[in-house]
């Protein structure tokens, strides 16, 4: 299968909170949305 986005073992540290070992794949042709408050760390760089 072909993926548009593939994330493996993502780790992001925030003050007082750590997001660890997040993995997901978005197949080509699918849409995914991330929701949360401003400043929650939704931007991928």
Which whole number is the average pLDDT over 8-34?
91
Which whole number is the average pLDDT over 2-31?
92
Residues in the chain: 45
Domain span at residue 15 reads 1-27
Global pTM value: 0.60
Bin 39: left if φ > 0, else alpha if -120 < ψ < 50, else beta.
left
pLDDT (0 to 100) of residue 45: 56
pLDDT (0 to 100) of residue 32: 86
21, part of any domain: yes
Give the number of domains in the chain.
Answer: 1
38, part of any domain: no
Which whole number is the average pLDDT over 15-26?
91
Locate 44 and state its tokens: 């991928």
Q: What is the biggest distance separating any 2 CA atoms in the chain, rounded to whole angstroms?
A: 37
- The conformation of residue 15, written as its DSSP 8-state character, comes to T
Provide the total of helices (H) and of strands (E) in the chain, helices listed first: 0, 2
Higher-confidence residue: 12 or 41?
12
Please count the other Cβ atoms lying within 10 Å of the Cβ belonging to residue 2: 7
């Amino acid at each position: 299968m072909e993926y548009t986005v593939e994330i493996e073992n993502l780790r992001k540290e925030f003050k007082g909170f750590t997001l660890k070992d997040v993995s997901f794949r978005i197949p080509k042709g699918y849409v995914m949305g991330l929701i949360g408050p401003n400043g929650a760390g939704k931007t991928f760089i």
